Amino acid sequence: MNAEISAAWDKVQSMINGFIALLPNLLLGLIVFILFLFIASRIKVVVKRLTRNRRSARNLGLVLGRLAQGITILIGLFIALSIVIPSFKAGDLVQLLGISGVAIGFAFRDILQNFLAGILILLTEPFQIDDQIVFKGFEGTVENIQTRATTIRTYDGRRIVIPNSELFTNSVTVNTAFDNRRLEYDVGIGYGDDIDQAKQLMLDAMHSVDEVLKDPAPDVLAMELAGSTVNIRVRWWVHPPRRADNLISRDKVITAIKKKLVANGIDLPFPTQQILFHDQTEETDGDRSRQREGWPAGKGEVPKPRRISDTLRLLAQKQDDGNSKVDSAKVNNET
């Protein structure tokens, strides 16, 4: 019994001595790893700072900064492990990562897809930070493009987080991709109004708005002969093409057109309906060849309206005719 206790104690003492002997290497390895973490963060900051003032290189700076940070941290990890475990070789870790990489790939397939899609988005730059985009009913300003997801800020103050794999494989509308943007609106005038005069008045109204660009110039097009209006489409360009500027110019253009048309006597009609009631008391009721369904008779014969007394007389006559037929049948049977 004493021998077993002594052997166990010797083993504990050897472990403690080994840990004490390894403690300087642990501290040195930890210090080296912390130093590489600091260097990696500074490299990322420097790369972002170099590309911050260049819109075209901003996303590329994010990619390079993150890649440089990750590579620096990985190098620091290798060096720290080599200090702590002198027999450790970088090839051992690479082999271990290769064996477990397949399992990790299956377990985190979606995460890896988003990561690769984020890298491609940052490199190809279909849109950039501060662009205003539309994606599947979501519309707003791009706040940040991360390697996993992209965040946009909606116009009503909400944040939407969209996985990068969806953004990369689906259609995205970039409203601020170009310097100018064209807006349009349909205005309905009356059928009795002069189309050329109305078009000229609309052009004058758009030219009076400061937000409407003179080049490209605004234009008006007759688009449709609708049920109660002649629809004319007005089109104009604005700069910059951001949401707030679009709303301001639309408000001013529509207001100016409405005031201009009304001041010059141009009608702005609204949809109307005519309801015709069918007269159910006409003597032609039930006769589909003569029934008018409420429309005027024109030059033809106007059906006479029925009176209640006439209807009762016809009903009584039919009943009398029926009774006389029954009596005749009885007399014939008796004879």
Q: pLDDT tens for residues 66-115?
A: 778 878 887 887 777 777 777 666 566 556 555 555 555 555 677 788 88
* CB crowding 170-199: b at 16 or more within 10 Å, else e: eebebbbeeeebebeeebbbeeebeeeebb
> What pLDDT score does 5 carry?
67
Question: Is residue 25 domain-shared with residue 108, that is, in the same domain?
Answer: yes
Phi, psi (rounded to 5 degrees) for 86: -60, -30
Cβ within 8 Å of residue 245, ≥6 positions away: 211, 238, 239
> What pLDDT score does 25 carry?
74
> What pLDDT score does 24 carry?
74
CA distances for 124 relative to 59, 80, 133, 201, 328, angstroms: 9, 36, 16, 46, 102
Q: pLDDT tens for residues 154-186?
A: 999 999 999 999 999 999 999 999 999 999 999
* CB crowding 205-224: b at 16 or more within 10 Å, else e: bbeebebbbeeeebbbeeee
Q: Judge whether 331 lies within some domain.
A: no
> What pLDDT score does 159 carry?
95
Give the chain's residues under pLDDT 50: none
Q: Judge whether 301 lies within some domain.
A: yes
Q: Judge whether 131 lies within some domain.
A: yes
Provide the domain count of the chain: 4
At 67, which CATH number? 1.10.287.1260
Question: Is residue 197 domain-shared with residue 248, that is, in the same domain?
Answer: yes
157: containing domain: 124-174
Residue pair 62/123 in contact by the 8 Å Cβ criterion = no
Q: Judge whether 104 lies within some domain.
A: yes
Give the Cα separation of 174 and 168 in Å (integer): 13
Q: Judge whether 5 lies within some domain.
A: no
Q: Judge whether 168 lies within some domain.
A: yes
> What pLDDT score does 315 carry?
74
Q: Judge whether 332 lies within some domain.
A: no
Give the Cα separation of 157 and 145 in Å (integer): 18
Residue pair 190/267 in contact by the 8 Å Cβ criterion = yes
At 240, which CATH number? 3.30.70.100
Question: Is residue 24 domain-shared with residue 101, that is, in the same domain?
Answer: yes
> What pLDDT score does 161 carry?
95
Question: Is residue 77 domain-shared with residue 36, that is, in the same domain?
Answer: yes
Q: Bridge-partner residues for 133, per DSSP?
A: 140, 174
CA distances for 71 relative to 36, 41, 50, 135, 242, angstroms: 10, 11, 19, 33, 39
Question: Is residue 75 domain-shared with residue 164, that is, in the same domain?
Answer: no
Out of 215, 239, 264, a domain closes at: 264
> What pLDDT score does 121 carry?
87
Q: What is the greatest pairwise CA distance in the chain? A: 143
Question: Is residue 109 domain-shared with residue 132, that is, in the same domain?
Answer: no
